[in-house]
Amino acid sequence: MSVTIKDVAKLAGVSITTVSHVINETRFVAEDTKQKVYRAIKELGYVTNSNARGLRSNVSHRIGLLVPEVSEYFPVDIIEPIENVLLKEGYQLILGYTHDRIDLERRQIENFNYQQIDGLLMFPAIGDHSYMKEICDYPVVFLDRKAKNYEADCVLADDEDAVYRGISMLIEAGHKSIGIITGNQEISTSQVRYRGYEKALQEHNITIDPSLVKMGNSKYSGGYEKAQELLDDGKMTALFPANIMMTISALKCLSYNNIRIPDDVAVLGFGDCPWAELTSPPLSTMRHPNQEIGKKAAEILLGRIKENTGEFQDYLIPVEIIKRKTF
């Protein structure tokens, strides 16, 4: 039986991807790790498949982009700047959907691999991404979220700072009972947005009231349900739903309950869209920097494809707070 790259990886105690990077010199690998791989290759008598290497080393000029979905709530404007950057360099963008399911995500990446993509941009789904060490032998850049158990460059909105500033503005406007509807806490962006809320209250010497913190599901249904719970508790004077879907449904809940904004409850939303200016009164909100994230991520990925060296980094894009009339 012929020796495979999997056998080399097992003997060397590293991933298949690492062995591939050592053989093909496609990514920086620490010298001691290289030596482990070289010793395993020598001991097993592994011979590289030059034909396969030749096929993979050819540039396909295809880039994969994985998004949760494309709907009225997904920021589709992130796709255009990505495509603009890639087209200038002669790359084709291939789109796939995960519906935030890790099993579908893996299947989509495997489909991309059949198409010999040169790199991958993705919104990581909820779950363990260690499987990517085995199937991704090209640069990866994460968009808007960090992944669990896989290291790569990440381009993120500076959500913690934005929420900290926004909640501080509500406090300075006289609000001390500020309700928050957080997203799914397995998503990194939900975690950092809550940290911004927590930091603002602590720095203004306001004790965090657990009854004002509602864990939503990051979906449309979560905003309505949790806003209703906050109204039933009867404590909050201001509300911050921590993503665009829950902002929309929370506003619907307030309207259904005949809550006057901002007289009864002030609102700071997340995610600025054209409709935010048309609400009554116009919604104060945070403008998520979708286009800036897309452009930066595409540029970083192309840089990695050309020269995949150096440590991975998190790139934070500032978030603008747009003050209108809801507080």
Q: Does the structure show a pLDDT above 90 at 247?
A: yes
Q: How far apart are CA 237 and CA 201, in angstroms?
A: 14
Same domain, 163 and 276: yes
Same domain, 152 and 294: yes
Tell me the average pLDDT across 45-51. Answer: 57
Q: Does the structure show a pLDDT above 90 at 4?
A: no
Q: How far apart are CA 272 and CA 244, in angstroms?
A: 8
Q: How far apart are CA 68 and CA 101, in angstroms?
A: 8
More reliable by pLDDT, 2 or 247: 247
pTM of the model: 0.79
- Computed on alpha carbons and rounded to an integer, the radius of gyration of the chain in Å comes to 23
CATH number reported for the structural domain that contains residue 32 in this entry: 1.10.260.40
Same domain, 122 and 172: no
Same domain, 118 and 194: no
pLDDT of residue 55: 45
Same domain, 212 and 164: yes
Percent pLDDT > 70 in the chain is: 93
Residue 19: CA count within 13 A, CB half-sphere: 24
Q: Of the residues 20, 36, 55, which one is the last residue of a structural domain?
A: 55
Question: Looking at the domain assignment, is residue 42 inside a domain?
Answer: yes
Tell me the average pLDDT across 147-151. Answer: 95
Question: Looking at the domain assignment, is residue 326 inside a domain?
Answer: no
Same domain, 283 and 169: yes
**Confidence category of residue 51, pLDDT binned at 50, 70, 90:** very low
Q: Look at residue 122 and give its three-state secondary structure.
A: strand
Question: Looking at the domain assignment, is residue 324 inside a domain?
Answer: no
- Beta bridge partners, 240, equal 180
Same domain, 203 and 300: no
Same domain, 152 and 167: no
Q: Of the residues 55, 72, 92, which one is the last residue of a structural domain?
A: 55
Q: What is the DSSP letter of 262?
A: T
Same domain, 295 and 190: no
CATH number reported for the structural domain that contains residue 145 in this entry: 3.40.50.2300
Question: Looking at the domain assignment, is residue 215 inside a domain?
Answer: yes
Element (H, E) at 302: helix 290-306
First to last CA, the chain: 71
Question: Looking at the domain assignment, is residue 307 inside a domain?
Answer: yes
In degrees, rounded to 5, the angle at the alpha carbon of residue 105 between the alpha carbons of residues 103 and 110 is 100
Same domain, 44 and 79: no
Question: Looking at the domain assignment, is residue 323 inside a domain?
Answer: no
Question: Looking at the domain assignment, is residue 327 inside a domain?
Answer: no
For 292-308, write each residue's pLDDT tens digit.
999 999 999 999 999 88
Question: In total, how many domains does the chain have?
Answer: 3
User: Exposure pattern of 102-115 as b/e (b: 16+ CB <10 Å)?
Assistant: bebbbebbeebeee
Same domain, 81 and 51: no
Same domain, 255 and 164: yes
Question: Looking at the domain assignment, is residue 147 inside a domain?
Answer: yes
Give the Cβ contact number of residue 80 at 10 Å: 13
**275 is in which domain, residue-wise?**
159-287
